Chains A and B, each alone.
Chain A
Amino acid sequence: MGTAGPQTAPLLALSGVSRSFDGVRVLDRAAFDLKRGEIHALLGENGAGKSTLMNIVTGVYAPEGGRYLIDGAPAGIRGPKDALKAGIGMVHQHFRLVDRFTVAENVLLASGQLGLFANAGEAARAAMEAGKAVGLAVDPAAIVGELSVAERQRVEILKVLALGARIVILDEPTAVLTDQEAGALLLAIRKIAAQGRAVVMITHKLREVAGHSDRVTIMRAGRTVISGAPVGTLSAGDLGRLMMGEETSPAEAAEAGVIEAAAPITIAKPGEERLIVSALYAGGGQGSVGVSDVGFTLKAGEILGVAGVGGNGQQALAEAIVGLLPVAGGHLTLDGWELGEFSVARRRDLGLRVVPSDRFASALIGELSVADNLALTRVRTGRYRSRLGSWLVGRRRMKREAEQAIEAFAIAGATPARRARLLSGGNAQKLLLARELEESGSGVKLLVAHSPTRGLDVKACAFVHAAIRKAVAGGAACLLISEDVEEVRALASRILVMSAGRMVGELPAGASASQIGALILGQA
């Protein structure tokens, strides 16, 4: 820890910290330190152990060995409560806010002060003042569930500031924001650090490291490959190599955004019109955003990207097309068939396939075997009928097909009988792709992919993207809904921008991230 100033011990210092989950070591003797007034970037891919390390700092997980010092003395943190007391505040990627409470109530809950009466007014006032000082303001009487994502994030930061946190940890703070919103946030973060607090910014975006932080710690596969290096001493290329490992291919680097995204590959000449959406209304109400007056056409051999900040009607759009949400108005046609009254099953029979945003919530069944998950959509069709009768299910064919799929899609760790829940995120996604795209070329007419690479590592991302491209090359059309602007830019041949349930603009392939951001914010 030679980087600490000579006169004082670092504000916080960890060394040799490990952690396993169910025998898998996700953190391996990691080291990390923090100084007052700095912005410290914690860089690494998904699954590199960044969040786990910070969850140990905040007492959510218990470490397995190692040393944890605050102000040079053992931290003695046994749970989130102790971390709060020590002045450590975290803004989680998934906000820790009670949606039904007001902003003031949320701040009060987090304040952790003793006392019988809930004086929300006073707590709110303190938080609002702290917010004003760094340029973050929000209405204390608003119900959190009705706020935008950027506003909720502001509440999270206010909570931390109201606690008088000395250490502010932000987990991927810009992931859910548009370019413009992110810029405002980064300014506020600088002001927070200028108040003498230390800020940790967990990220996998290299430009945030270069332009907006003082030091950087890089993690890979649970280890800290570099701990607390001044940002100026490393080039973007260095950062990328350290984050991804030496053996990274240029293509994978491109996927992670390390290298500027390659121009979208033109796959096939767009063919006949496949999906026609006109004046579509669906969903909405009860705190969720529905689809309002949406219309577009999607041709065979085309990937149509839908960009936008999550929670702006993307879910409703996907569900309406798939058949999980009734169409309240307008029309949906697939290859000339009006889908409005069709069941999910009939839509699937027409060649509709889906990769939803949360695979274990709405596509795979964790408690069922790999073979059962692969057969899930097809048992209905009588494909696995037993010789004894069509209503009986024959397991032998199911098993054989599962073995083939595991082989074809290189699903690591899978056997036909193994439960799907035991697969890693990337392999579970491969399992899902194996089911949905198996008959590519003939069966698949339309693929609806919603955030298909969320939470996956670089290699799995590349695999998913390749699978989508292959399906489209085989004549399918793909509606790619994603919050990841880079993903949309890398894959889509046209880009629609969605905001508050509407399509607010269309951009050609090659549009820049800031063009897309401007449309999302309604500044175009």
Chain B
Amino acid sequence: MAKLDRVRMAGFLAALPLIGGMTLQRRQAAGPGLAMLSFLGGLAVGIFIGAVTLVAAGVPADDLLDELVVQVFLTSDGLAQTVVLATPLLLAGLSSAVASRIRFWNIGIEGQLWMGAIAAAGVALFHIGPEPLRLPLMMLAACIAGACWIALPLLLKLRLGVSEIVLTLMLSNVAYLIMQHLLFGAWQDPSGSFPISPRFDDAATLPGLGWGDVHAGILIALIAGLALWVLMERTRAGFHANAIGLNPVAARAAGIPVAATVVLFVLLSGALSGLAGGVIVAGTEHRLTQFIGINMTFSGIVIAFLARFNALATIVAALAIAGIYNAGGTLKVFYSVSDGVVVLVEGAVLMCVLIGQFFSAYRIEFARRPATVEDAEGEAA
């Protein structure tokens, strides 16, 4: 602990001279190369910090590459597990990307996910609808529940200008408590004392694809990713959303239907989060449990940010983050490292990439001062 603090303080002190000595200029335009370079640089530093943390937490350095890359991406079983984990992460990342497009901070992905999971579980547990339609109904219910859960913050933001950040977050906590209320009460599996619901019927579980635990949910998530890419990059609504996100005032003055577009994108974000909940209960857990969806909000935001809010890139980012989750699970079992390390690595990567952007957004100048530079006169003469 003390060691960590010292390292951080030293970093801060090292940066202090920058505050006073340098002058900054906003770059008019960063070339794509520079932007990519600072992005990758930030990413590399973030991953390095994550690796150092893991070693400090007791993982042998020699095993890092094996655990973080080989075991989660390069073996069939490991990759299968990564894909399973990536399924809800992809949906959460898409949810964040859609909301971010119109600058709506959805910090309540978890809440929408839990409400989606509850809705899907409700359809499954109470055998609503004919069996062949059970799964579509579950997914639909999950989407609607997620959209409903984000509707209140959306309404309050549009009508009263209340910040959606705290609202969505608070509603996450409420959703979690509602889920617990059900799991410790009416929906508890009567055959045990655990806070879990009874197992779903086969008609209410997503079919496996014959590769590890990978289930049809990944197909749903991939289709969602492709559809969202078309929506955000190729449609009228996407064009409008882009303008609104960059400058809502100008968008309104240009006659763009701002409110309708915002409502569409935000509800879609809620629905995607809800769908993630539905996919988890129907595809992975086959029941409602209280351990689903943890940290999904932050992971979703990190994925969307790393993907630059592009739906196709989100697929790649979701796989990468899923790899960290997968490795985190192993490390917890074999090295007794807290699974909090996953969030730590995510946080470090996000922070470093954010800082990295600075170098493409600004030019640092150490300007020559006239009082000390006499040679400029020769230049002038």
Contacts and interface: CB of A to CB of B under 8 A. Distances in A.
Nearest to A418: B29
Contact of B257 (A75, A345, A364): A345
Contacts of A364: 250
A174 B249 CA distance: 30
Given A364-B250, A419-B29, A65 B368 contact: yes
Interface in B325-381: 365, 367-377, 379-381
A391 B237 contact: yes
Most chain B Cβ neighbours within 10 Å, of A324, A362, A364, A367: A362
A10 interface: no
B161 interface: no
B235 A392 contact: yes
A301 interface: no
B226 interface: no
A150 interface: no
25 contacts: A15-B377, A15-B380, A16-B379, A16-B380, A22-B27, A63-B370, A64-B367, A65-B368, A74-B370, A75-B371, A76-B371, A324-B252, A343-B257, A344-B253, A362-B253, A365-B247, A367-B246, A372-B243, A376-B250, A376-B256, A379-B239, A379-B240, A380-B257, A382-B236, A421-B29
A327 B66 CA distance: 67
B10 to A, nearest CB: 27
Contacts of A324: 249, 252-253
A368 B246 contact: yes
A67 B372 CA distance: 8
A395 to B, nearest CB: 9
B193 interface: no
A74 to B, nearest CB: 4
Contacts of A74: 370-372
Nearest to A436: B254
Contacts of A422: 28-29
B53 interface: no
Nearest to A14: B370
Contacts of A15: 377, 380
Size bracket, chain A contacts: 35 or more
A393 B380 contact: no
A67 B255 contact: no
B376 A66 contact: yes
A391 B243 CA distance: 16
B255 A348 contact: yes
Given A15-B380, A344-B253, A362-B253, A379 B370 contact: no
B243 A365 contact: yes
A62 interface: yes
A324 B237 CA distance: 21
A343 B255 contact: yes
Given A65-B368, A348-B255, A379 B27 contact: no
Contacts of A63: 367-370
A322 interface: yes
Contacts of A376: 243, 250-251, 254, 256
A78 interface: yes
B234 interface: yes
A365 B29 contact: no
A375 to B, nearest CB: 8
A15 B380 CA distance: 8
Contacts of A29: 379-380
Given A367-B246, A379-B236, 7 more contacts: A17-B370, A67-B370, A68-B371, A343-B255, A349-B255, A380-B236, A393-B238
Contacts of B243: 365, 368, 372, 376
Given A391-B236, A392-B235, A356 B253 contact: yes
Contacts of A380: 236, 240, 255-257
Contacts of B370: 14, 17, 63, 65-68, 74-75
A117 interface: no
B242 interface: yes
A365 B250 contact: yes
Interface string A368-395: 1000100111011010001000011100
B369 A78 contact: yes
Contact of A393 (B234, B252, B253, B254): B234
A392 B373 contact: no
A14 B374 CA distance: 12
Nearest to A390: B236
Contacts of B75: none
A75 B373 CA distance: 12
B23 interface: yes
A504 interface: no
A368 B253 contact: no
Given A22-B28, A368-B243, A391-B235, A67 B376 contact: yes
Nearest to A344: B255
A344 B367 contact: no
A377 B255 contact: yes
B191 interface: no
Interface in A20-68: 21-22, 29, 62-68
A363 interface: yes
Given A67-B374, A380-B257, A363 B250 contact: yes
A77 interface: yes
A393 B371 contact: no
Contacts of A524: none
A322 B251 CA distance: 13
Nearest to B23: A62
Nearest to A382: B236
A32 B237 CA distance: 55
A344 B28 contact: no
A176 B375 CA distance: 41
Contact of A67 (B29, B240, B377): B377
A75 B370 CA distance: 9
Most chain A Cβ neighbours within 10 Å, of B27, B236, B246, B252: B236
A367 B309 CA distance: 15
A116 interface: no
Contact of A363 (B240, B253, B257, B374): B253
Nearest to B379: A65
A377 B117 CA distance: 41
Contacts of B25: 21-22
A392 to B, nearest CB: 5
A354 interface: yes
A16 B234 contact: no
Given A16-B380, A363-B250, A393 B235 contact: yes
B328 to A, nearest CB: 36
A422 B239 CA distance: 21
Contacts of B237: 391
